[in-house]
Amino acid sequence: MTTTHAWPHLFHEGAADTPVLLLLHGTGGTEHDLLPLAERLAPGAGYLAPRGPVREHGMNRWFRRFGEGVFDVDDVVLRAGELAAFIGWAREHYALGDRRLIAVGFSNGANIALATALLHPGMVADAVAFSGMYPLEGRSIDTDLSGSSIALFNGSADAMAPLDSAVRVGSILESRGAEVRRNVREGGHGIHPTEVDGAAAWITSLTRKVTHD
């Protein structure tokens, strides 16, 4: 189990009137991987970028798996809880107050973002998932997600995150009350420049909506 205060991570406060982006790297990545995305997604925003706590053949991951696309769901649940606890610690430690936190994950990072959004919406209510899929196979979801907003970005020919699984996670999120934006492009696994533009526009609309409300 990862101790929250000892979890390797990077933090940048950003402007007080901006959201904080929770940057969650993919398999084999580090806390530095998604930093170039932060300014493109939300100029001036803060960021919190932890490192995945699980090791697979020397690579950083967010949870264990039995094989490609076959997740250890018990470990997914455990690690989502740990990430939620880390977010709670970071909010207090960095005096984030009520600043909006938006998870931004790629691949394995998208999957842990979705798992945490599904299981702990009080900690992750908003998320951008690039090349993600449903991470909680065989588990029933009974959380109230009526305050959650999730943007899914997937490739139609992604062998690592099959589109049917991405469609399923969107449907489950919606069934629990979340507002879901689905975005499907041609191609496979990765983050396409058009998706970055789409995610930036979505984040802008999300933060403006709160301001106007």
DSSP character string of 12-70: E---TTS-EEEEE--TT--TTTTHHHHHHHSTT-EEEEEPP-EEETTEEESS-EEETTE
pLDDT in tens, 97-109: 999 999 999 999 9
Q: Pick the catalytic residue: 33, 120, 158, 165?
A: 158
3-class secondary-structure state, position 11: strand
pLDDT at 4 over 70: no
pLDDT at 71 over 90: yes
Query: What does the radius of gyration of the chain's CA atoms come to, in whole angstroms?
Result: 16
pLDDT at 211 over 80: no
Determine the pLDDT at residue 2: 54
- Cβ–Cβ contacts within 10 Å for residue 122, how many? 11
pLDDT grade for 3, boundaries at 50, 70 and 90: low
Average pLDDT over residues 4-12: 85
Q: Pick the catalytic residue: 25, 107, 148, 165?
A: 107
pLDDT at 117 over 50: yes
Determine the pLDDT at residue 207: 84
Q: Residue 90 in contact with residue 77, Cβ under 8 Å?
A: no
Integer Cα distance of 30 and 16 in angstroms:
26
Integer Cα distance of 84 and 213 in angstroms:
27
Look up 72 and say whether it is catalytic. Answer: no
Determine the pLDDT at residue 212: 45
Look up 164 and say whether it is catalytic. Answer: no
Give long-range contacts, CB 8 A cutoff, 24+ apart: 71-74: 71/111, 71/135, 71/137, 73/135, 73/136, 73/137, 73/138, 73/139
Q: Enter the tokens of residue 108.
A: 């394995």
Exposure class string for 75-101: b at 16+ Cβ within 10 A, else e: bbbebbbbbbbbbeebbeeeebeebbb
Q: Pick the catalytic residue: 9, 12, 189, 192?
A: 189
pLDDT in tens, 144-154: 999 999 999 99
pLDDT at 213 over 60: no
Look up 205 and say whether it is catalytic. Answer: no
Average pLDDT over residues 41-65: 96
Residue owning tokens 């999120």: 173
Pairing mode of beta strands 46-50, 20-24: parallel
Instruction: Give the side-chain half-sphere CA count within 13 A for 176.
Output: 21
